[in-house]
Amino acid sequence: MDMESIVLLEELKKDASGGWTERIIAQLDYAVKISGMHGGKYDSIIGDALRYTASQKAEEGVITKNTAIHAEDMLKEMSGAAKRLNIICAAHAHIDMNWMWGFHETVAVALDTFRTMLNLMDEYPCFTFSQSQASVYRIVEEYDPGMLGEIRERVREGRWEVTASTWVETDKNMPNGESLARHILYTRKYLSELLDLDPESLKLDFEPDTFGHSRNVPEILARGGIKYYYHCRGYSGHNVYRWKAPSGSNVIVYREPLWYNAAIDAKLAAHVPEFCSRNGVNTVLKVYGVGDHGGGPTRRDIEKLIDMGTWPIFPTVRFGTFNEYFRILEGISDKLPVVDQELNYIFTGCYTTQTRIKLANRLSEARLNEAESFGSIAALFAGGDYPGKAYEKAWEKVLFNQFHDIIPGSGVIETREYAMGQFQQVLAAANTGITKSLRMIASQVATSAFGIAGEDYKSTNSEGAGVGHSVTDFGLPQVERGRGKNRYVNVFNPSAHDRKEPVEFTLWDWPGDISRLEIRDAEGNTVRHQILKKGKKTEHCSSDYWGHEFIKLLADVSVPAYGYNTYAITEHPGPKMSVIRDEPRNEYPHRYILENDLVRVVFNTQNAAIVSLIDKSRNTELVDSSRTTGIFRLIEEDDSRGMTAWVVGRYMNIEKLTRDVRVTDMYADPSALRQWISYTMKFRDSELEVTVSLDSSSARLNYSVKCDWQERAAAGKFIPQLSFYMPLNYSCSSYKYDIPYGTITRESLDMDVPANNWAVGMPDGEAGGAVMLVSETKYGFRGFDNSISMTLIRSAYDPDPYPENYVHRIRFAVDIADSSCNNADLIMKGYDYNHPISFVSNLPHGGSLPTVKGFITLESGAAVISSVKLPESSEGKLNQIIVRVYEADGEKADVILKFERVIQKAWFVDLNENRIECDDPISVSDTRIGFNVKPFSICGICVEFKC
């Protein structure tokens, strides 16, 4: 195209609004691009049409209808070439769940939007509409069931497309792998039943606004029967491609080239020729509809599309669906470029903002995991029930709060209030389920095997004591069921491997001599213990605990995988033992050291920073004390980019919180089960209370932090942030993080990155000890400049002006990992930290179960068990169990699982719990099954037991 024509076109485009002017200029612009696709074949007639149109405009002052029609006639030779390109127009309404409003408004928005769409569908038989998110259909079912019948009818006609494969348009970085699997399971199950759909027709994951996409999403989608993926953010390469997971599983992806919220205008075709040429297709997808707050496409949009369909020098424009377009891409899938990476990063502040929502998500996932596993064990091996419907309802609440503006914290105060209310209901369901299951198992344990003589219990006041204790801090109930001096506890292990570690018990109203207190196992062996605290006042009850007194014990217990052990607490007849620390008789230099057989940690006597962290198994120093390590930092972020909930600003000022540190307690007996140092510090308007503890035979430093955070952002100046910082004493150019169903190694980056639980600084060169940060409720980590840090709190100020002013309780740990160990071992370290051993109080009685037993054991294979549950379709049949595992090291895992029940048969299932055929069979031998898990893949097994 010659320069004169280009200049003419640009001049005409300056006044291209409305009517025939808009119509002809859009066609001229499109014609130029079509000619370019054909080597300039139509340049001459386009030039003539441009000159004619420009001259007529100059003469008449406007482009009239006659001018436009004549110019179109001048171009009619190229109409065939123009119409060979197609635009499928897919309408949708992006409805954000509880973003800048509360749930009541979300309900109103969904119902009003759908009423508009149904009305337009009545009027325009050609109009099609697509809608994602199972949660909006739940809203219709609950709040306007009459509308549901209308939607069902349009779905049957094929005009209302269901694009939901997830409960909400979910975040893809912070939910764990099991959560992402449950999005697919419960969405398919619910929508196929509600709308009479073939579950296999739900094969698009529509995530237009999600803030980044973790590495294993294609594997999760493929295992759930999802073939297509639509997104906008987190990647800026190809628009059409195959996204491949490390397992080799892949999905066809369409990355929106424009934006998912759009009205229809004459620029519709401007990018079509270039897009088609670049991607080897003849069809473009146009996504349109008002969004964020619903609304959807308008009458004007529909009318304009109908009109554009008549334009002669324009693509073939038609209403259609997302699945229709993806089927076109599927036809050329072998020619699509392959993207083999995570699709990150965007809005890294969302890994930390609104810390209470993050806490709610992590604890909900952990409790439901245990509720399902212990519930399955109780149902199959101890005659208990399995409240599957209650767990499904709880999962729905968890999945709803994983919406991409809820769990990221980029909402208003109503967003948080609703999420935290949902969290309370989830905990009520999960904790009740766990407690009932543990008590059911404990009721059948033969505690009479201890052979302890009976007592007179008439004057006891212990039974029922401790109601509510620990539940305030989101733990399981620790109510006392025992009486007298002889008490029994059952401890339960939620992990797939045996565990031996110190575990806390709470003993209520024990009438014995505390100096003669003894803990024994069923073989009569004395178990090491330590008295941590004794009294009537707890942290949450300043007076005596409603007339009761407690002893907090620490005992060194052993518990088999997915099993329990039993211990008796009694009073021995021998001499008294010292249980209280002696008052000091001499003065010595200040020396703050926690040490056991695995690690030696030295704290600065002035500010409690870590001076030295020695891995004794390798005799290596792991931290760089020259940079002040193991400290909390108050950071002022630059807020000039705005969007403070979403964006972590450049670090402007960093203040090490090492002033005015008061050491309030120190217990450093190397022979004790637990040692600790406690300290407090005040800074600005806030205060930290910190206890760092080290348990026997553990290299893990446990941090328990109470932070009265009263820092506020100064808009236009800074955002305050609290972080924990660990400089390392070794060269570290890469860092390993856990992600949904696996791990990822990332280069050193001076920015926050997401992880499900932990981060490890990987030593360059030879393998050795590596520092690992493990979090109970945090997701934002930063591995950079030979250091690891964890972002704890950020006081953003928009959209919620005061999201973090609260007394926060934060738990995390500094651990030592072997950098050469497999990823499964690292994942289980994180799992064990977030899934502590539980206990329930018991009574003396006979029973069918022995004093110690494991029910499910991963006997071999470097795989990770992610869930143990009964099938969704069990309906009271208690002879099947589903175990889901995944491989995280890139090598085939030969897995052997042992159960405490004879197996009838076993088969593979997908994430929807449908039976699937695999090349490698499952071997069944009495109580064991053996199977292979392919590298980096997810594998589900359904096991049926003999009745």
Do residues 325 and 87 lie in contact, with contact meaning Cβ atoms separated by under 8 Å?
A: no
pLDDT confidence of residue 395: 98
Using the structure block, give the residue that is written with the tokens 């993207």: 339
Amino acid at 763: P
Ramachandran quadrant class, 423 (left: phi over 0; alpha: psi -120 to 50; beta: rest):
alpha
pLDDT confidence of residue 465: 86
Please give the backbone phi and psi of residue 856, each rounded to the nearest 5 degrees, phi first. Answer: -140, 130
How much is the pTM?
Answer: 0.95
Burial of 653 (0-12, 13-18, 19+ CB in 10 A): exposed
C-alpha distance from residue 657 to each of 55, 106, 632, 724 (Å): 73, 42, 6, 10
Helix (H, G, I), strand (E, B) or coil at 127: coil
Q: Which two tokens stand for residue 786?
A: 């030979």
- The C-alpha R_g of the chain, in whole angstroms, comes to 32
Pairing type for strands 240-244 and 228-231 reads: unpaired
Count CB neighbours of 877 within 10 A. Answer: 11
Please choose, from the candidates 787, 790, 786, 788, the residue with its C-alpha nearest in 3D space to the C-alpha of residue 776. 790
Helix (H, G, I), strand (E, B) or coil at 44: helix
- Cα–Cα distance, 357 to 411 (Å, whole number): 11
Classify each residue of 506-544 as buried b or exposed e, where b means 16 or more C-beta atoms within 10 Å of its C-beta. bbbbbebebebbbbbbbeeeebebbbbeeeeebeeeeee
List strands edge to edge, sheet with 499-508. Answer: 499-508, 550-559, 529-535
Amino acid at 827: I
Q: How distant is the alpha carbon of residue 520 from its chain centre? A: 41
Pairing type for strands 806-818 and 787-794 reads: unpaired
Please give the backbone phi and psi of residue 781, each rounded to the nearest 5 degrees, phi first. Answer: -125, 160
Amino acid at 287: V
Ramachandran quadrant class, 334 (left: phi over 0; alpha: psi -120 to 50; beta: rest):
alpha
- Cα–Cα distance, 450 to 922 (Å, whole number): 41
- Cα–Cα distance, 782 to 773 (Å, whole number): 11
Angle between helices 19-37 and 43-60 (to 10 degrees): 160
pLDDT confidence of residue 579: 55
- Cα–Cα distance, 350 to 358 (Å, whole number): 10
- Cα–Cα distance, 373 to 350 (Å, whole number): 31
Q: Which two tokens stand for residue 652?
A: 């402007």
Strands (E) located in 292-360: 316-319, 338-339
What is residue 926's DSSP assignment?
T
Helix (H, G, I), strand (E, B) or coil at 514: helix
- Cα–Cα distance, 728 to 759 (Å, whole number): 13
Continuous H helices in 382-492: 388-400, 413-442
Q: Which two tokens stand for residue 925?
A: 């031998």
pLDDT confidence of residue 260: 87
pLDDT profile of the chain (947 residues), mean per 10: 79 79 93 94 92 90 91 95 97 96 97 97 98 98 97 97 98 98 98 96 97 98 98 95 98 94 90 95 95 89 96 97 97 96 97 98 98 97 94 98 98 97 98 97 94 73 85 86 92 97 94 94 94 78 71 97 97 73 71 96 96 96 92 98 97 97 95 97 97 97 98 96 97 97 98 98 93 97 98 97 96 96 96 97 94 96 97 82 98 96 97 92 96 97 95
Helix (H, G, I), strand (E, B) or coil at 651: strand
